[in-house]
Amino acid sequence: MKIAVCPGSFDPVTSGHLDVIERGARLFGKVVVGVFEKTGKTPLFSLNKRVNFIESAIKENLCLNNVEVESFNTLLIDFAHKHGACAIIKGLRAVSDFEHEFQMAQFNRKLDPSIETIFMMASSQYAYLSSSAVKEIAKFGGRIEGLVTPEVEKGLRKVFEL
Ligand code: PNS
């Protein structure tokens, strides 16, 4: 069975992330979503919350039974080895994503050339969607319906006391 990992900070998971996870789950026997514990800045949601949001979206919204969610705080390549993955799935939105993603893919290839990074072009309706944009819109009381799951929407409303 071919296994892929799909890593990210997921602070919080968006409909764009879920779209990539769902499409990845059609291509691979199993997809392990890796929630990176350490992010550059302090995350809005705890690691547990970020994992739980994805787990319930996978069960309740996407109904996928070949996707698992796990946090990690190591090199991504080591997380991929741990799960016997042959690929890393990443979503690619606008050109602005490219340079950073290209660099990470090169580093990961240097660390283990046998693990392939696969980029999925974001679906057009999510091409400009990001966790940061969702947080900013939510913070100022804007509508985020459809951009995240209802559970994440509720979580954001609670954080920003809306
Ligand atoms: O959602 P993000 O913030 O773009 O995800 C970034 C992530 C978690 C994929 C990246 O930071 C990562 O792979 N971190 C694990 C540590 C690692 O392997 N770093 C070297 C890759 S160049």
In a domain, 133, yes or no: no
Asked if pLDDT for residue 39 goes beyond 80, the answer is no
Number of domains the chain is built from: 1
pLDDT of residue 94: 84
In a domain, 146, yes or no: no
In a domain, 160, yes or no: no
In a domain, 158, yes or no: no
How much is the average pLDDT of 111-121?
A: 98
Separation between Cα atoms, residue 111 and residue 108, nearest integer Å:
5
pLDDT of residue 141: 94
Q: Poorest-confidence range of 4-8, 93-97, 145-149?
A: 93-97
Residue located via tokens 């979580």: 155
pLDDT of residue 162: 66
In a domain, 145, yes or no: no
**Residue 12, preceding peptide bond in cis (omega within 30° of 0):** yes
Q: Give the tens place of pLDDT for each residue, 74-91.
A: 999 999 999 999 999 999
Closest C-alpha to ligand 1, atom 22: 104
How much is the average pLDDT of 116-135?
A: 96
In a domain, 134, yes or no: no
How much is the average pLDDT of 14-43?
A: 94
Closest C-alpha to ligand 1, atom 7: 8
36 lines ligand 1 (CB under 6 A): yes
In a domain, 65, yes or no: yes
Contacts of 46 (CB under 8 A, 6+ apart): none
Looking up residue 111, the CATH number of its domain turns out to be 3.40.50.620
In a domain, 122, yes or no: yes
pLDDT of residue 96: 82
Give the chain's mean pLDDT.
95
Range of the domain at 62: 3-127
20 lines ligand 1 (CB under 6 A): no
Contact 36, 9 (CB under 8 A): yes
Please give the share of the chain, as a percent, with pLDDT higher than 70: 99
pLDDT of residue 38: 79
